[in-house]
Chains A and B, each alone.
Chain A
Amino acid sequence: MALTLFRGIHTRPLLPYSSAFSARKHVIFCSMQSTQTETSMKTKQQAPSNFTETARAKAVEKVLKDYEAIIGIETHVQLSTTTKAFCGCAYTYGSQPNSCVCPVCMGLPGALPVLNSKVIKCAVMLGLALNCKLSLSSKFDRKQYFYPDLPKGYQISQFDIPIATNGFIDVDLPLEFGGGHRRFGITRVHMEEDAGKLLHTGSGPYSQVDLNRAGVPLLEIVSEPDMRTGIEAAEYAAELQRVVRYLGVGNGNMQEGSLRCDVNVSIRPIGQLEFGTKVEIKNLNSFSAMSRAIDFEIARQAELYNQGQADEIVQETRLWEEGSQKTFTMRKKEGLADYRYFPEPDLPEVVLTEEYVNGIRESLPELPEMKRRRYEEMGLTMQDILFLANDVNVAEFFDATIAKVPDIKLAANWIMGDIAAYMKNEKLSINEIKLSPQELSELITSIKSGTISGKIGKEILIELMKKGGTVKGLIEEKDLVQIVDPVEIEKIIDKVIANNPKQLEQYRGGKTKLQGFFAGQVMKESKGKANPGLVNKILIEKLNAKS
């Protein structure tokens, strides 16, 4: 079931469906979905068939009866600073290759790095949001390796004294995957710089290098090996993305590579204390890919165990291939890489004062977990909570709507129903539609007070989302005020009955189903403005009256 739904994400990765049923279904994956505008990179490829998905789900389920999977995740978050970490080059995704470069990020001799203070701010924000202990003094180190995307021959990173350690992140698993609350440990968060981009496009003996990204600030977040299933891992990553977006420290876009996850997976027979050999998986471009890759890897390793070939599980890096839905060996690790770390002599120690940290702590926004718990206290269902809190902009829209009209359930229904459906169809985010939270609350008030009918409300909503304007303005302009005067409704009903003598005869002859026909005609005659409750009440009286 769970995995079949992932197939849904894969092929139709966007917004909720319009029908009530699908809108509910959307919640399943909304919490793992990256953004509303992101499309899955591999949509062109054939999605796995239902059959294989179900088979895989069953295989993993079976495996987990005998084995325990141990999953840890390393995540790189690109920070949305204006400039790079150690030089004043402005970085924008998609710029002309090799245009945002200078002697510092090109690693030219004599160039000296100077740390961007915004990087520290972002690191402290994320460290606090992940409930970490902050190191009031930390330092940078050089991690040496040779690769063409690394101009200096070393990456400036943090080795033995990272800026933040020992934290945790709280996650609510989607109901469709069994639900439940989980807490996953965060080992450390450290600051480092990104490398450039290497392209292997041409068929010639050359690779192409673009150094725009070289020196762009990253935060690396290392989790404890606390996850046990692909779903848990994907939810961990999705929550990290939410935190990054709520804080505004990065855009968390997986397709652009602004959020990159490398996953370590090992399995061990249940009851065994020592860990199995862990395998690293790369090339995970979406949360669903992460979940599927992990499940594949668990099943692959279990198969080797079952066949007495556990020694064939070796420490290696495997790549996830979306097309075949399999992982493949990228390289075997022969001994641990020797990065010859040593303290970066060109950068001073990073010292944080208590006041600085407290200032940031006090200015932190409400985080996803806090929001979910608040929504829970307000009485929303977990399904609603996960939908609304998934996207920080949707959550803010919801909060602004209920600030004026405290009808929480109605506001949630409008946002998750008609508004989400419209956003999906038009491929717009909630900030791009013309409707403001103020007008949504005005709309809800107008319906509750009976000024307009629910049906008219839906029509006005579309207008508001498309063109903007105010509820009051539209009601006046289009003369949409609901007819609640029984005398006026009676007049319309009389007219409709007079115009349909044949149907009246049939009704009175026992075909009472025709009441719906009459009600429809009355609504049509009143241009949808007649109060439906009154229409039905008066209509029944009239139809059943002996003339």
Chain B
Amino acid sequence: MGTRALLLLTPAFKSDCNLLNHFTKYGFHQTVRQQEKLFRVGVRKFSVHSSLERPNVARLAETARISLTPQEAEEFAPKIQQVVDWFGQLQDVDLQSIEPAIRPDTEAGSFREDNPEAFDNREAIIAAIPNYEEPYIKVPKVLNKD
């Protein structure tokens, strides 16, 4: 759920503080440290939750490739707004004295060795593919990526 909420939020984030605009093709001149600072500054800028932009449900639906009727969009808007407001509250928390973390979890480094392990029920996966023609998955013809 947390994930979903964040996903919906991102466009608002972007337009508000231009966080993503700091990333351009050649924009990574800063060291990682500077990047982190930049990030924190970005977050600080938001800490006034009233500045959060109202979610544009139609656009969110489009980027998520979900079709919504105007009625549905209208219905969703306040619910999404609630989530956004909730994040606004989180951002109001004073974190001046807290060391920033990249990730919320503390345990790091649960890696896997590079040893192959074949999945033994491949047939079931293949059987679940809606449109399969040995040995390929069939999809509507697509030529451009956007």
Q: A74 — which chain B residues lie within 8 A by C-beta? A: 25
B29 and A89 form a contact (CB under 8 A) = no
Q: B50 — which chain A residues lie within 8 A by C-beta? A: none
- Distance in Å from the Cβ of A124 to the closest Cβ of chain B? 13
Cβ-based interface call for B141 (8 A): yes
A224 and B136 form a contact (CB under 8 A) = no
- Distance in Å from the Cβ of B56 to the closest Cβ of chain A? 12
- Say yes or no: A348-B110 contact (C-beta < 8 A), given A160-B35, A187-B28: yes
A205 and B141 form a contact (CB under 8 A) = yes
A114 and B2 form a contact (CB under 8 A) = no
Q: B28 — which chain A residues lie within 8 A by C-beta? A: 162, 165, 187-188, 222
Q: A145 — which chain B residues lie within 8 A by C-beta? A: 145-146
B138 and A206 form a contact (CB under 8 A) = yes
B105 and A342 form a contact (CB under 8 A) = no
Cβ-based interface call for B7 (8 A): yes
- Total residues of chain A contacting the partner, CB 8 A: 71
A206 and B140 form a contact (CB under 8 A) = yes
A337 and B146 form a contact (CB under 8 A) = yes
Segment with Cβ contacts to A, from B71-79, B84-92, B111-119: B111-119
Cβ-based interface call for B3 (8 A): yes
Q: A205 — which chain B residues lie within 8 A by C-beta? A: 140-141
B31 and A166 form a contact (CB under 8 A) = yes
Q: B7 — which chain A residues lie within 8 A by C-beta? A: 144, 340, 342
A339: nearest residue on chain B (CB-CB)?
Answer: B20
- Distance in Å from the Cβ of B24 to the closest Cβ of chain A? 9
Q: A341 — which chain B residues lie within 8 A by C-beta? A: 10, 20
- Say yes or no: A103-B125 contact (C-beta < 8 A), given A117-B114, A341-B20: yes
Cβ-based interface call for A83 (8 A): yes
CA distance A204 to B131 in the complex (A): 14
B105 and A348 form a contact (CB under 8 A) = yes
Those of B108-146 within 8 Å (CB) of chain A: 108-119, 122, 125-126, 133, 135-146
Among A160, A210, A330, A342, max chain B CB count under 10 A is at: A160
Other-chain contact of B103, A82, A103, A139 (Cβ < 8 Å): A139
Cβ-based interface call for A261 (8 A): no
A208 and B119 form a contact (CB under 8 A) = no
- Say yes or no: A161-B35 contact (C-beta < 8 A), given A115-B111, A222-B28: yes
Those of B58-112 within 8 Å (CB) of chain A: 63, 65, 102-103, 105, 107-112
Q: A211 — which chain B residues lie within 8 A by C-beta? A: 137
B139 and A209 form a contact (CB under 8 A) = yes
CA distance A348 to B126 in the complex (A): 30
CA distance A118 to B114 in the complex (A): 6
Q: A161 — which chain B residues lie within 8 A by C-beta? A: 32, 35-36, 102
CA distance A145 to B107 in the complex (A): 29
Cβ-based interface call for A512 (8 A): no
Cβ-based interface call for A291 (8 A): no
A225 and B116 form a contact (CB under 8 A) = no
B6: nearest residue on chain A (CB-CB)?
Answer: A342
Other-chain contact of B136, A88, A160, A208, A225 (Cβ < 8 Å): A208
- Say yes or no: A343-B26 contact (C-beta < 8 A), given A88-B117, A116-B112, A161-B32: no
Cβ-based interface call for A177 (8 A): no
Other-chain contact of B112, A115, A144, A165 (Cβ < 8 Å): A115
B26 and A187 form a contact (CB under 8 A) = yes
A89 and B118 form a contact (CB under 8 A) = yes
A114 and B105 form a contact (CB under 8 A) = no
- Say yes or no: A114-B32 contact (C-beta < 8 A), given A83-B116, A209-B137, A331-B146: no
- Distance in Å from the Cβ of A8 to the closest Cβ of chain B? 33
CA distance A264 to B65 in the complex (A): 29
Q: A198 — which chain B residues lie within 8 A by C-beta? A: 139, 142
A116 and B111 form a contact (CB under 8 A) = yes
- Say yes or no: A101-B102 contact (C-beta < 8 A), given A160-B39, A208-B136, A208-B138: no
B36 and A208 form a contact (CB under 8 A) = no
Q: Knowing that A118-B113, A146-B65, A161-B35 touch, tell me 8 more A-B residue pairs with CB under 8 angstroms.
A: A88-B117, A138-B102, A145-B146, A160-B39, A207-B138, A225-B26, A340-B7, A348-B105
Listed from nearest, the 8 A-B pairs whose CB atoms lie closest are: A88-B117, A102-B119, A208-B136, A90-B116, A117-B111, A118-B114, A209-B137, A97-B135
A-B contact pairs, 11 of them (CB 8 A): A83-B112, A83-B114, A102-B119, A114-B111, A117-B112, A264-B25, A330-B144, A338-B20, A345-B3, A348-B107, A350-B108
